[in-house]
Structure 1
Amino acid sequence: MTMLRTASALALLVLSAPALAAGVKGDPVAGAEKAKTCASCHGATGNESLDDTYPKIAGQYPEYLAKALHDYKSGERENAIMAGFAAGLSDEDIDDLAAFFSTTGKATCTT
């Protein structure tokens, strides 16, 4: 039984290592639910934009994604569409979205 507990603890540590190493603060599972609004422009995983004017955000560093959302919210970064969406986000929402999109795959372009 002790060996099973040790194996389970080790598996949990290995699975969470990428998130810990990247400094991810948010919950990617909660972020997936919150990202449904984002899907209309960025795609379900952030990598399927139907319009080239919308950046592909999948696989970006979570710190970058969180900063971008905070900057849209504060007005430091200007985009009328994103400012409207970011205005209603809490710090937790931003962290969750950043955690989700940072784990969804590689971005193919950035803006």
Structure 2
Amino acid sequence: MKRVSILLSGAVCALVGMASAQAADLAAGKAAFEKNGCVACHGAAGDKTIAPMYPVLAGQHDDYLVHALTAYQRGISNAPNSANIRKNPIMGNEIKKLGAADIVNIAAWLSAQPGPLSHNRK
């Protein structure tokens, strides 16, 4: 079991690394955010949510967003709890639609948006 966890962890790290290494396309990120229904809960620019339980995403670090979205994908794949998973019925349903490039692009676009979490303020 320990061997499987180690192999799974290595595969996940490789996937995240490959996704992060891709050049992000901000226009594609915005389009994927809109097309996949993210705006319904997180607002048009990720800065205004429809309910307090939904996080503001605008200005969040892109590597954190990639990590979080990938953890939701692991959650719907029935990965073991030791695989750093996130389970949420709404996000689980939505994350199925996204590929690795979509995740990188959405994360980069959200990171570039001004908001209360913005680390790019001048």
- The alignment's TM-score, normalised by the length of structure 2, stands at 0.66
Q: Distance in 1 between matches of 2:97 and 2:70?
A: 11
Any idea what the Cα deviations from partners look like across 1:1-59, whole Å, max 9, x if unmatched? xxxxxxxxxxxxxxxxxxxxxx8842111111111111000001101112111100110
Distance 1:67 1:60, change over 3 A: same
Check if 1:86 corresponds to 2:84: no
CA RMSD of aligned residues (A): 1.6
Check if 1:29 corresponds to 2:38: no
After superposing on structure 2, the runs of 4+ consecutive aligned residues of structure 1 that deviate more than 2 Å are: none
Equivalent positions of 1:1-111 (< 5 A) are 25-36=23-34, 37-75=37-75, 76-107=85-116
Aligned residues: 86
Q: Distance in 2 between matches of 1:30 and 1:51?
A: 26
Distance 1:53 1:105, change over 3 A: same
CA-CA distance at 1:90 after TM superposition: 0.6
8 Å contact from structure 2 (residues 45, 58) kept in 1: yes
Q: Distance in 2 between matches of 1:106 and 1:84?
A: 26
Unpaired stretches in structure 1, ≥5 consecutive residues: 1-22
